[in-house]
A and B are shown apart, each in its own frame.
Chain A
Amino acid sequence: MALVSLRSCGRLGFHLGLRAYATRPVGTPRKREQQDDTPVFQYVGQHRKLQGKVFVWGFSYTGALGIPSFVVPDSGRKKPRKYQLTPYRLDTEQKISSAACGYGFTLLASNSRDLTKLWGMGLNKDSQLGFQRTQHDRHKSYDYVLEASPVSLPLVNPQETRALQVSCGRAHSLVLTDSEGVFSMGNNAYGQCGRKIVEDEVFRFSHSICPAPLVLGSVYACGWGADGQTGLGYHNKASCPVPVGGDLAGVKVQQVATYGDCSLAVSTDGHVFGWGNSEYLQLASVTEATQISSPWLLALRGVGRVRQAACGGTQVAVLNEEGEVFVWGFGILGKGPKLSESAIPERFNPTVKVSSIRCGLNHFAAITDRGELFVWAKNVRGCLGIGKHDDQYFPWRVTVPGHVTDVACGVDHMVALVRSII
């Protein structure tokens, strides 16, 4: 159909031109010859693979979301976006297999053999994202990284080693590789990076990324121990990774979780061990003391075999083999505004099967086996991603266009790894 040229006709002429258009009344079918002329578009082939995408949301001023236009808008008219309240797609060059959120920064890792395996964005004042060399000065590093920038690891075999998992703390990060052990970077004031504590060390512009020796199945701890969270039996700092004893001695551990000052470990036979801070009744099932400096086996009634545990600042959650979630501790636990603290595990509605559970500092995230993400508890600067600033007293679905495979929770932002539906 020919286009009407608007510029040549005047306003009246335009209307006349439209009326002179050969229009067919709606409802009458077209003739066969005209129907076959329309081109057929193919948007997706038969063998299209499912794509992996990354979605971010939360507080963006530190650059932790990795979208520079939120902090420094493209045009002068736009205002910087402080809170991203709903999931926003982050474009990545490679497929991201692991993500971790710290306090104001994010690390993304890809499982590939390429030279660039790790990207970091956000706060970098303690070099928790490594040394991000500035354009103008070779010896200075960026304090705030607004876009996902490659983090270079001092690997012996950079074209063979893969980065399996990343983990972030308040001001430090750890990277697990498949053949070269664990690398740590960032703040080491309490020895949390596993290297010797240097008095008054300046972490800004630091280049130190060091590997640490470890053994499979056992738990190593280093860092601040004032609440007993190292589990090493004493309350001093530990600057070198030391194997944790107590009830965990000789036990094969499949997963460790820690956030605030409390830590949990899940053994391969489904038992949960806990140590550290218990001021918020996290370990009240075994003791009334507020700090436990060595791991104790937690006898949780009615929980069954535990598959995964997650620790928040004041609350704790475990997931058992049947897909049921149990929470206890202090804060918004997710069973209404009345339940604000509990020493015994409280079970959620068992009709929904959960496949993975994560905790941020003040909130929870659960992924069901159908790939839906539910979040609840305190909404710190929009970290829940539900479109509003209100706290959420029971699990609420986050709308993400795809199946969520993994989620990383930070203090005020979250990252979700999503697989597309088609």
Chain B
Amino acid sequence: MTSQAVRLFRKMDGLFAVYKPQGVHWKHVRDSIESNLLKALNSCPPPAPQLAVQFQLLSGGENSSSKDVVLSPSMVPTLADHPLVTGPQFHKVHVGVGHRLDAFSSGVLVLGVGKGNGVLEHLCKSHVTRDYTLEGEFGKATDNFTHTGRVIEKTTYDHVTLDKLERVLAMIQGANQKALIMYSQVDLHTQEAYELAVRGLLYPHGKSPPILTGLRCIHFNPPHFTLEVQCVNETQKYLRKLIHEVGLELRTSAVCSGVRRTRDGPFKVENALTRQHWTAGSIIQAIAHFSKATRKIRKSGMYKQTAGQLNSSAQVQEQTRSQTEQINQEHVELSSSTSDTVVDRETPVTLSEGRTKH
């Protein structure tokens, strides 16, 4: 008979998403989740104490005459498994973190509990794309690309219009489209590579620099503007630097006032748990909600381990790409009217080549 605590512990296996607030280190989030889970586990009512037979000197009772102390057996609870003796039953719950978010950013943070930690590794290796919303502000440049940094330069921004911004974003997208194919580790001189490129299936499955697969402006109100970005292999500092570079291309300067991750693979911000819900009950519900996605990630991860046995790298590309697409299937590719990148899959451009001399 398992106790309620053990039954609760066995339910804590899987992946779920948490909304990390801004200004908080991701480690604090992980630690508070772990302590909440431990609190819930250790506050479960302990099982009924085990009884052991003990021979005690008790007064006789009815059978013998009174005032005779006789050795009689009785069931007495053993104190060996009393919680006040042994201490709390659970000391540690393995909670792991997926793609990290630095202190300045906020948004979806994927955590794994128990057996889900193994699946976390597969998620990290699967090169799923992530969605971010970046808030930017024209007019100043700082040392760490955020609005709280030391101001290095101030510039005018009255010449910036939405169509100029869209043109610059289209150019950045063009460079990133090329990078997608450049880092796909497929020999471009083969017919299979051409077939995949035409269908838009070439994707960087190995090591690659940060690549933006989608970029568009969703709000423009000078000096403030908001960009929506889909990227792979990125860091939040790279995204803040992107805002700075958008400013430079527009012959002004820009700082980032917010980075918010709205999606990490199949984990979206609508299903992420906010601080009030960092309790064991909500977490277990969330794990159950994401169990399908977790299974898919685990399957794709196991596929990749055996992928080395396949002959052609292009075949591996196609099948791992379809796996990644299945994982990402709920998200819609970004495309806006003036800067659609998705359609033009034949035609890639490199990031490093963008340094032309003037």
Contacts and interface: CB of A to CB of B under 8 A. Distances in A.
Interface of A: 24, 26-27, 29-30, 35, 38-46, 48, 55, 86-89, 335-338, 348-349, 351-352, 368, 370, 372, 374, 386-387, 390-401, 403, 421-422
B286 interface: no
A392 B154 CA distance: 44
Contacts of B358: 89, 401
A393 B343 contact: no
Contact of B151 (A35, A352, A394): A35
Given A26-B150, A399-B175, A336 B195 contact: yes
B27 to A, nearest CB: 18
Contact of B177 (A43, A390, A397): A397
A19 to B, nearest CB: 18
B51 interface: no
Contact of A24 (B150, B153, B195): B150
A368 B177 CA distance: 15
Nearest to A84: B357
B349 A397 contact: yes
Q: Which of B164, B252, B348, B349 has the most CB of A within 10 A?
A: B349
Nearest to A390: B189
B198 A41 contact: no
A352 B346 contact: yes
Residues of A contacting B: mostly? loop
Contacts of A374: 346-347
A393 B354 contact: no
A372 B189 contact: no
A48 B188 CA distance: 42
A361 B251 CA distance: 39
Interface size range on B against A: 35 or more
30 contacts: A24-B150, A26-B148, A26-B149, A27-B148, A35-B151, A40-B155, A41-B154, A41-B155, A42-B156, A43-B156, A44-B159, A44-B251, A44-B252, A337-B191, A348-B346, A349-B198, A352-B343, A372-B174, A372-B347, A386-B353, A387-B350, A392-B188, A393-B189, A396-B178, A397-B177, A397-B348, A401-B354, A401-B356, A421-B164, A422-B250
Nearest to A349: B346
A394 B150 CA distance: 47
B174 A397 contact: yes
Contact of A421 (B148, B171, B190, B195): B171
Contacts of A86: 353, 356
Contacts of A372: 174, 347
Given A43-B155, A55-B356, A337-B189, A397 B149 contact: no
B334 interface: no
Contact of A398 (B164, B249, B344, B349): B349
B180 to A, nearest CB: 11
Given A41-B154, A422-B250, A370 B170 contact: yes
A352 B347 contact: yes
Nearest to A391: B189
Given A42-B156, A337-B189, A395-B346, A421 B249 contact: yes
Given A399-B354, A421-B167, A394 B198 contact: yes
A35 B154 CA distance: 10
Contacts of A48: 159
A230 to B, nearest CB: 37
Given A48-B159, A374-B347, A397-B347, A39 B154 contact: yes
A230 B129 CA distance: 57
Nearest to A348: B346
Nearest to A27: B148
A400 B350 CA distance: 11
Nearest to B170: A370
B344 A40 contact: no
B208 interface: no
Given A38-B154, A48-B159, A43 B191 contact: no
B162 to A, nearest CB: 13
B315 interface: no
A422 B144 contact: no
Nearest to A366: B347
Given A44-B159, A368-B344, 4 more contacts: A86-B353, A335-B194, A422-B167, A422-B250
Nearest to B190: A337
A351 B347 CA distance: 12
A352 B154 contact: no
Contacts of B151: 30, 35, 38
Contact of B174 (A348, A399, A422): A399
A420 to B, nearest CB: 10
A35 to B, nearest CB: 7
| For the complex of A and B, 4 pairs with smallest distance between CB atoms | A336-B194, A397-B349, A44-B251, A43-B251
Nearest to B175: A399
A351 B158 contact: no
Interface in B98-153: 143-144, 148-151, 153
A394 B346 contact: yes
B156 A41 contact: yes
A422 B197 contact: no
Nearest to A41: B155
Contact of B197 (A351, A394, A421): A394
A223 to B, nearest CB: 36
A394 B143 CA distance: 42
Contacts of B349: 396-399
Q: Which of B189, B191, B347, B353 has the most CB of A within 10 A?
A: B347
A89 B357 contact: yes
B141 to A, nearest CB: 10
A45 B177 CA distance: 32
Given A394-B197, A397-B174, A422 B154 contact: no
A422 B249 contact: yes
A163 to B, nearest CB: 26
Contacts of A401: 171, 354, 356, 358
Q: Which of B159, B250, B343 has the most CB of A within 10 A?
A: B159
A87 B356 contact: yes
Given A352-B347, A397-B348, A43 B252 contact: yes
Contacts of B194: 335-337, 393-394
A351 B343 CA distance: 6
A44 B250 CA distance: 9
A403 B166 CA distance: 13
A55 B354 CA distance: 13
A395 B158 CA distance: 38
A337 B148 CA distance: 53
B150 A387 contact: no
Contacts of B156: 40-43
A157 B293 CA distance: 76
B168 interface: yes
Contacts of B170: 370
Contacts of B344: 351-352, 368
Contacts of B148: 26-27, 29
